[in-house]
Copies of this chain bind each other. A is one copy, B any other.
Amino acid sequence: MTITRGRDVMMEIREGDDVLLFLDQRRTYQVRVEEGRQFHTHKGYIEMGKLIGRTYGSPVKSSLGAKFYALRPLVRDRILKTDRRTQVLYPKDIGYLLFQMGIGAGSRVAEAGTGSGALTCALADAVRPDGRVYSYEINFRFQETAASNIERAGLMEYVELKQGDITEGLYEEGLDAVVLDMATPWLVVGHAHDALSGSGVFTSFSPTIEQVMKTVSALREHPFVDIETVELIMRRINVAENRTRPETLMIGHSGYLTSARKVLE
């Protein structure tokens, strides 16, 4: 079977692929497909080898008869499945940041900190096939986890992991965007200006309003325009006949998103 259109080369499940086993919205598992491997759940185990050669989206029965679907993992799945040693951004925030930065195929972006590599994966996927992500992390242990997550997502060729303190400066120049998810973004504003190309985009994610105040204040002391801070609130809606309503419990706050564009004086 030769499929040459778009991403269709991935339509058939092959040995070594990660699949997302979907039971229901709250129970999904990212598992490697390997001949002879059994994946155990409380609903029985699944023979992973049975999936080889089948089409993505196919159902597979567990030993106890529960029906799972073998989905192709998207970047958003990898983010939520990523090792949770560090707080991760939510899809609502990542989607907005990516779009706000205006990055795409070929973009060169710096990021700090790498954390578990969740945002790194999203950035790497966005700059494929000829862009590059420079990801700074001061904590050696986070970097190991991140490397393993990025590797597993097949995105390492687009990433340079850098161990170092970004508050002391960046090695790159002429970047399209810099994105910060770290405790003291305001200490990086000047360095980000140096590293960005003219008109390049600075973005930052911060949980507290004090971080935002300091970051915006630092941005105003450098040649940046279009400085703005927003917050995204996401509500899930339960849709069911005569029971349609927003979910009772929700994430009320993840963080503020600040962005700006570099200008020259």
Contact = CB atoms under 8 A, between A and B. Distances in A.
Interface of A: 3, 5-8, 11, 22, 25, 55-59, 69-72, 74-76, 91-92, 94-102, 104-108, 122, 125-132, 174, 176, 197-201, 207-210, 212-213, 216-217, 225-226, 228-237, 239, 241-256, 258, 261-265
Contact of A98 (B95, B234, B263): B95
B57 A76 contact: no
Contacts of A6: 106-108, 127, 130-132, 174, 176
A3 B69 contact: no
B57 A209 contact: no
Contacts of A58: 198, 263-264
Contact of A199 (B71, B102, B130, B248): B71
A132 B5 CA distance: 10
A220 to B, nearest CB: 9
Given A199-B57, A244-B210, A252-B252, A230 B239 contact: no
Q: How many copies does the complex hold?
A: 4
Contact of A263 (B69, B105, B233, B262): B69
Nearest to A132: B6
A102 B128 contact: no
Given A58-B198, A104-B126, A244-B210, A229 B234 contact: no
Given A95-B98, A208-B243, A248-B253, A228 B25 contact: yes
Given A6-B108, A22-B263, A69-B263, 4 more contacts: A57-B199, A69-B199, A72-B199, A94-B99
Contacts of A75: 99, 102, 104
Given A6-B107, A216-B239, A237-B231, A245 B99 contact: no
A99 B122 contact: yes
